[in-house]
């Protein structure tokens, strides 16, 4: 699982986008309100989540419905505590960068 940095998958030197959600494709970013999303080569599924109760970590995250995203660059205004990504077409290469901005 990434820290407060970014999810960077599929670029040279980075892991491939997984076909299932994994700790490496998940970013814990408490109280974020905006993020930069860049998707290249093929689509991905993105899922935002909010923590509930006390304590931290992914065990307290309630995930929203996943969203398919085609290749694009956008700034998304969304309140979230965690975000995760998986491959849209299993086995096909793609690239994604998700960075919390606030």
> Please, what sign has the CA dihedral across residues 58, 28, 18, 69?
positive
Asked if the structure places residue 95 within a domain, the reply is yes
Kindly report, residue by residue over 29-59, the tens digit of the pLDDT. Answer: 999 999 999 999 999 999 999 998 776 666 7
Instruction: Domain of residue 47: give its range.
Output: 7-100
Output the pLDDT for position 52.
84
Asked if the structure places residue 63 within a domain, the reply is yes
Output the pLDDT for position 58.
66
Kindly report, residue by residue over 51-97, the tens digit of the pLDDT. Answer: 987 766 667 899 999 999 999 999 999 999 999 999 999 989 999 99
- Give me the number of domains the chain comprises: 1
Output the pLDDT for position 2.
44
Output the domain CATH number for residue 81. Answer: 2.60.120
Asked if the structure places residue 2 within a domain, the reply is no
- Residues 50, 29: contact at Cβ < 8 Å? no
Contacts of 97 (CB under 8 A, 6+ apart): 6, 7, 8, 11, 36, 37, 38
């Amino acid at each position: 699982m990434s820290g407060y940095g970014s999810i960077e998958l599929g670029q040279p030197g980075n892991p491939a986008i997984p076909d299932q959600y994994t700790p490496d494709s998940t970013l814990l970013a408490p109280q974020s309100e905006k993020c930069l999303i860049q998707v290249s080569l093929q689509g991905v599924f993105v899922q935002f989540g909010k923590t509930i109760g006390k304590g931290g970590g992914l065990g307290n995250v309630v995930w929203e419905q996943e969203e398919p995203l085609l290749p694009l660059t956008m700034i998304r205004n969304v309140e979230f505590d965690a975000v995760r990504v998986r491959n849209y077409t299993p086995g096909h290469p793609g690239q994604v960068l998700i960075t919390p901005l606030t």
